[in-house]
A and B are shown apart, each in its own frame.
Chain A
Amino acid sequence: MRKSFAVARKEFRQIVRDRRTLMILLFVPTFFLLLFGYALNWDIRHVHLAVDDRDRTPESRSIVSAFVNSGYFDLVASIDEGQISAAMNGTDVRAVIVISSGLGRDLRVGRLVPVQVIINGDNANAATAVMGYSLTILQNESAKYQGRLAMAAVPLLSVEPRIWYNPELRSALFLVPGLIAYIAMLTAVISTALSIVREKERGTMEQVRMAPLDAASFVAGKTIPYFLISLVSSMVIVVVAMALFGLPMRGSWLLLLVAVSLFLVGALALGLLVSSIADTQQVAFQLAALVSFLPTLMLSGFIFPISSMPALLRAVTYVVPAKYFLIALRAIVLKGAGLSVYWTDLVALAIFAAATLALASARLKRQWV
């Protein structure tokens, strides 16, 4: 234990002395987040709107002007039913309000009327926002008639959103947890793998092996600093995402910490496994990038929905830890869901971490003596 501490202290000192590595570990993740985050279009004012008003009554015109006066929408066209597809397929119109005929009459007698809002979903973030605005605007409109009719608080106007092109609405908020997983995985695996292979390459490993120190203490000492640094940098990403991208943090910080820790232990174990295979830093880097980068990006549900993958790939995703981490992270951060929703995913993460750690230490131990 004291010897692990000696190794950990040495490793910390090496990292701190090497400003570059420290910067990479702590700030590059956040930089990535900013880069990816802002690459998505966040400007959701002046949404170009077309209106298909089939009612043409004071009530329907009131709804249209409420949209325009909100400041979020610019009315660019008044169209009829046959033109909707053409308008949406063009690059200009982002949303269409469809007001069916008879809306004014129905409202006056207090009947519930749906208003269809067609939204272009290719920019999921904007689509979510547009949907939110529409809902608010229509609720306000609805309130006018409720007051007049002295009815209970049942809104008379309901939104019928139709999201085209991206019906799952995978918003940027949805992507942020994926980014966290991706960045944490990459830095944890690569930094651990490189730090051990560097010692092999430089020959200091052999000197350390001579000391009365077992493989486990060495590995523990080596990984503790990277664990702590990765944990800090993951948390920094979460906080930055909250501050800049409005990532909600609906669940418990403690559970978030548990999920991130389990995920990181698995990532570090993967780094150890790589270091037990590679003998040069170059090979280690490539191998680490390969095992962390590709699966986390492609097979975790980060970018491509797992449900739409071919069966074979879907089977492979079961050994991709980021998949479980993403489920847990989205549940905690976006939904504030309780442990009962994702405890199986945490267990899966723990199993992955334990299995990889066991495999890696068995290999390293064999090479130790």
Chain B
Amino acid sequence: MNAITVNRLTRRFGEFVAVDDLTFDVREGEIFGFLGANGAGKSTTIRMLCGLLKPTSGAATVGGVDVGRDPEGVKRRIGYMSQRFSLYERLTVDQNIRFFGGLYGLDRARLADRRRFAIEIAGLEGREQMRTSDLAGGWRQRLALGCAILHEPRLVFLDEPTGGVDPVSRRQFWRLIDQLSASGVTVLVTTHYLDEAEHCHRIGIMHAGRLAALGSIDELKGIFRHRPIVEVQATNPVEAMRQLDQMPEIEKTSVFGTAVHAVLRPDRPLAPAALDDRLRRAGVPVTAIGPVQPSLEDVFFEVVEAAGSQHGRPAEAASGARP
């Protein structure tokens, strides 16, 4: 069963199309990740799915409830952590929890129970009376998550929950997301960190309001199925790249840390050894060369580039990876 179904969802702000004809599903219990550059339309999509923003056209069902027809029904069933979500900074940890518990209408016993839970997942035992403004970023984010799921929703929307948080706190936060998912909660999350996307069961890549690709990480990597990637370590990567770009067998190159990734054309196989040979002959000393598996970063740039050049038409992986 699908937790979320989205059908041709569109949102305009005046002339500007922020979300353009989006169609996808999210399965129950899944961690679904949204990737995309700034302004791609991720937050706008989430806000429509949460019933906070009316779609211009199209439809979406969240937890079996039509978003356009019954936004209040949707709100009752989901938890949402907005991109800008900050708790009430003047209030203490405890007062924040009680406030949101009150808004969700939890009774005394349930509130006590959920309060314990929220403090536990935030790791704030013994600091209940601290002002929220005195908490470090990681604790604040986890407390915010706790407050957003006090009412135990089966569906959770997290809009860039780990923005501006240190790596250790990010890992802790993702452990919480994994736990939620393990308990059967559906999670839709946006992020700018590609390493975080590895936690997601499926990923949607948004570009300029459109869904440019969708699938599991393996499915997405499938766009490089017939196009091997060779990683080249050279003392002069810039010159190496210039040489590679001139070779007819090479479709494109990109910088990858200190290395260069070269994507080979599907119809023109070329062994790494031959490539090495050719670079040496061109006067570019190579320190290491060999085939590599495509990373999510390779996929992301490939998809976004393709979407950009085709003016937003979904890349082949999107349709190819559809279940």
Residues of A in contact with B (beta carbons under 8 Å apart): 2-3, 5-7, 9-10, 13-14, 17-18, 202-204, 206-213, 369
Q: List 7 additional contacts besides A13-B95, A207-B148; criterion CB under 8 Å.
A: A6-B99, A206-B84, A207-B80, A210-B78, A210-B80, A210-B148, A369-B72
11 A–B pairs (Cβ distance < 8 Å), ordered by A: A3-B102, A6-B102, A13-B95, A202-B86, A204-B87, A204-B88, A206-B52, A208-B103, A210-B50, A211-B75, A211-B104
Instruction: Report the interface size class on chain B.
Output: 20 to 34
A7 to B91, CA, bound (A): 13
Chain B 69-112 near chain A by CB (<8 Å), digits 1 or 0: 00110011011111111111111000100111011110000000
Q: Which chain B residues lie closer than 8 Å to A203 at the CB level?
A: 82-86
Kindly state whether residue B51 has any CB partner on chain A within 8 Å: yes
A5 to B99, CA, bound (A): 10
Q: Which residue of B lies closest to A212 (CB)?
A: B76
Docked-complex contact B91 and A14, CB < 8 angstroms:
yes
Q: Of B54, B90, B147, which contacts A14 at CB under 8 A?
A: B90
Give A8 Cβ to nearest chain B Cβ, in Å: 10
Q: Which chain B residues lie closer than 8 Å to A212 at the CB level?
A: 72, 75-76, 103-105
Q: Which residue of A lies closest to B83 (CB)?
A: A203
Using A202-B84, A203-B82, A204-B88 as known contacts, say yes or no to A209 and B52 having CB atoms under 8 A apart: yes
Docked-complex contact B75 and A210, CB < 8 angstroms:
yes
A210 to B153, CA, bound (A): 12
Q: Which chain B residues lie closer than 8 Å to A2 at the CB level?
A: 102, 105
Docked-complex contact B75 and A207, CB < 8 angstroms:
no
Q: Which chain B residues lie closer than 8 Å to A10 at the CB level?
A: 88, 91, 95, 99, 102
Rank and list the top 6 A-B pairs by shortest CB-CB distance, nearest first: A6-B102, A203-B84, A211-B103, A10-B99, A17-B90, A210-B80
Number of A-B residue pairs having CB atoms within 8 Å of each other in the complex:
79
Chain B 117-149 near chain A by CB (<8 Å), digits 1 or 0: 000000000000001000000000000000110
Q: Of B81, B102, B147, which contacts A9 at CB under 8 A?
A: B102
Give B195 Cβ to nearest chain A Cβ, in Å: 26
Docked-complex contact B86 and A7, CB < 8 angstroms:
no
Give B285 Cβ to nearest chain A Cβ, in Å: 53
A98 to B131, CA, bound (A): 73
Q: Which chain A residues lie closer than 8 Å to B51 at the CB level?
A: 369
Docked-complex contact B85 and A207, CB < 8 angstroms:
yes
A3 to B101, CA, bound (A): 10
Using A10-B95, A17-B91 as known contacts, say yes or no to A211 and B52 having CB atoms under 8 A apart: no
A9 to B99, CA, bound (A): 8
A278 to B81, CA, bound (A): 24
A10 to B84, CA, bound (A): 20
Give B187 Cβ to nearest chain A Cβ, in Å: 16
A69 to B79, CA, bound (A): 82
A212 to B78, CA, bound (A): 10
Docked-complex contact A206 and B54, CB < 8 angstroms:
no
Q: Which chain A residues lie closer than 8 Å to B79 at the CB level?
A: 210
A209 to B72, CA, bound (A): 10
Q: Which chain B residues lie closer than 8 Å to A213 at the CB level?
A: 103
Using A10-B88, A14-B90, A204-B86 as known contacts, say yes or no to A210 and B102 having CB atoms under 8 A apart: no
Using A3-B103, A10-B99, A212-B76 as known contacts, say yes or no to A207 and B54 having CB atoms under 8 A apart: no
A6 to B79, CA, bound (A): 19
Give B218 Cβ to nearest chain A Cβ, in Å: 34
A312 to B173, CA, bound (A): 63
Q: Which chain A residues lie closer than 8 Å to B99 at the CB level?
A: 6-7, 9-10
Q: Which residue of B lies closest to A15 (CB)?
A: B90
Docked-complex contact A207 and B72, CB < 8 angstroms:
no
Give B98 Cβ to nearest chain A Cβ, in Å: 8
Q: Which chain A residues lie closer than 8 Å to B81 at the CB level?
A: 207
Give B118 Cβ to nearest chain A Cβ, in Å: 14
Q: Which chain B residues lie closer than 8 Å to A202 at the CB level?
A: 84, 86, 89
A6 to B99, CA, bound (A): 6
Docked-complex contact B90 and A210, CB < 8 angstroms:
no
Q: Which residue of A lies closest to B159 (CB)?
A: A206
Q: Of A14, A207, A369, which contacts B82 at CB under 8 A?
A: A207
Q: Which chain B residues lie closer than 8 Å to A14 at the CB level?
A: 88, 90-91
Q: Which residue of B lies closest to A369 (CB)?
A: B71
A202 to B132, CA, bound (A): 14
Using A13-B91, A369-B54 as known contacts, say yes or no to A211 and B100 having CB atoms under 8 A apart: yes
Q: Which chain B residues lie closer than 8 Å to A9 at the CB level?
A: 99, 102
A124 to B233, CA, bound (A): 92
Q: Which chain B residues lie closer than 8 Å to A5 at the CB level?
A: 102
A14 to B133, CA, bound (A): 13
Q: Which chain A residues lie closer than 8 Å to B54 at the CB level?
A: 369
A10 to B89, CA, bound (A): 12
A363 to B68, CA, bound (A): 20
A207 to B86, CA, bound (A): 9
Q: Which residue of A lies closest to B87 (CB)?
A: A204
Give A18 Cβ to nearest chain B Cβ, in Å: 6
Q: Which chain B residues lie closer than 8 Å to A369 at the CB level?
A: 51-52, 54, 71-72
A209 to B71, CA, bound (A): 11
Q: Which chain B residues lie closer than 8 Å to A207 at the CB level?
A: 80-82, 85, 100, 147-148
A119 to B139, CA, bound (A): 72
A2 to B99, CA, bound (A): 11
